Amino acid sequence: MFSSSAGRFARAMTTPHPFTAGGLTLRLVKRLAFLSCSFWIAYLAIVVLSTHPCGLSPRCLSSLHLAHRPILPESPPTETRHLVFGIASSASSWPRRRDYVRAWWRPGETRGFVWLDRPLNSSFPQTDASLPTVRVSEDTSRFPYTYRKGLRSAIRVARIVAETVRLGLPDVRWFVFGDDDTVFFVDNLVRVLRKYDHEMWFYVGESSENVDQNRVNSFDMGFGGGGFAISHRLAAALARVFDSCLVRYAHLYGSDARVFACLAELGVGLTHERGFHQ
């Protein structure tokens, strides 16, 4: 114990106290040395960056960083075969409106389905090579609908989005939805959708030309009468949550409002393309 205490006493006699003149001088010297080193490091960094072709532009430097990442091959341009159409109809309206679809449908080139509320009458041709395949929607009686004087068929029409996606067709980039009296100009549609990255989340369409309709619903909602398109990745995400989302929006009137609300929950707004005419 004595030897330890004596050692501490000897060190105390030889080490400057932090509040003595020697202690203050030592601390000041260390601080000045640190500041000097920091200054020269910053100065050299500025000199190097200022002589670099990028200068001090963070965007340029970021692009150089990205340039070192592996370059993925670009996918070929979007073609008609990359689109799948989901057409909302009913057993009563399809016989009268099928010629609207026949006007733009391209057998062997376009892909898609017409969705009905029930099977067609046996006297009506069940298949037609010049038209899309007819499918019957699933039962929607388990979903609530509370809009007074509305049509609960809005739930079935909205679910066409999820039902079309869940069919799992290969090589799909865009899902396009419309009514049985919507006329698509396919080449124009493909040209428009080529502008957007189908691997990202996109909801493309346009609001109504009717201001009252926009006021009641939203100026940022795509109207099915003019058609709208959803990229395949967004459509897959939407299909996973769509049924639970429909339960939360029982108070809405139409099918388009339900699709719009569920996409909004995913954080996706409408990308306006004026070529989609309501």
Average the pLDDT over 150-170 and give the result: 97
Q: Is 72 domain-assigned?
A: no
53 with 172, same domain: the answer is no
Q: 39-61: per-residue pLDDT in tens?
A: 667 666 665 555 544 454 544 44
The yes-or-no verdict on residue 142 having pLDDT over 90 is yes
Do 234 and 105 lie in one domain? The reply is yes
Residue 59 placed within a domain: yes
Of residues 268 and 3, the one with the higher pLDDT is: 268
pLDDT score recorded for residue 124: 80
Average pLDDT, the chain: 82
**CATH at residue 233:** 3.90.550.50
100 is in which domain, residue-wise? 80-272
Residue 137 domain-assigned (yes or no): yes
How does pLDDT run across 176-225, given as a tens digit for each residue? 999 999 999 999 999 999 999 999 999 998 865 555 555 556 546 676 67
Q: 94 and 55: one domain?
A: no
Return the pLDDT at 80: 98
pLDDT tens, residue by residue, 96-127: 999 999 999 999 999 999 999 999 988 787 78
Share of the chain above pLDDT 70, in %: 70
Residues 97 and 8 in one domain: no
| Secondary structure (DSSP) of 2-53 | HHHHHHHHHHHHHSPPTTSHHHHHHHHHHHHHHHHHHHHHHHHHHHHHHTST
Asked if residue 73 is part of any domain, the answer here is no
Question: pLDDT-based confidence at 276, cuts 50/70/90?
Answer: confident
Tell whether 131 and 238 lie within a shared domain: yes
Q: Is residue 179 part of a domain?
A: yes
257-266 pLDDT, tens per residue? 999 999 999 9
pLDDT band at 65 (very low <50, low <70, confident <90, very high): very low
Cβ atoms of 253 and 259 closer than 8 Å: no
pLDDT of residue 105: 98
Residue 208: per-residue pLDDT: 55
How confident is the model at residue 260, as a pLDDT? 92
231: pLDDT strictly greater than 50: yes
Counting other chains too, the contacts that 128-131 makes at CB distance below 8 Å and 24 or more residues apart are 128/98, 130/102, 130/105, 131/98, 131/101, 131/102, 131/105
Are 99 and 33 contained in the same domain? no
Q: How many domains does the chain have?
A: 2
Report the pLDDT value the prediction gives residue 145, as an integer from 0 to 100.
98
In a domain, 94, yes or no: yes
Return d(Cα 187, Cα 177) in angstroms, integer: 16
Contacts of residue 18, defined as CB under 8 A and 6 or more positions apart, other chains included, come to 24, 27
Give backbone dihedrals phi and psi of 229, rounded to 5 degrees, phi first: -125, 145
Q: Which of 73, 72, 85 is CA-nearest to residue 193?
A: 85
Domain boundary among 12, 43, 67: 67
- Taking the C-alpha atoms of residue 252 and residue 150, their distance in angstroms, rounded to an integer, is 9
**Shared-domain flag, residues 24 and 87:** no
What is the percent of the chain where pLDDT is above 90?
59
- Tell me if 42 is assigned to some domain: yes
Whether residues 46 and 95 fall in one domain: no
Which has more pLDDT, 149 or 56?
Answer: 149
Residues 85 and 59 in one domain: no
Mean pLDDT over 24-29 rounds to 67
Per-residue pLDDT averaged across 154-166, rounded? 98
Residue 123: per-residue pLDDT: 76
Same domain, 118 and 175: yes
Note whether 246 and 262 are within 8 A (CB).
Answer: yes
Q: Is the pLDDT of residue 253 over 60?
A: yes
Residue 13 confidence (pLDDT) above 80:
no
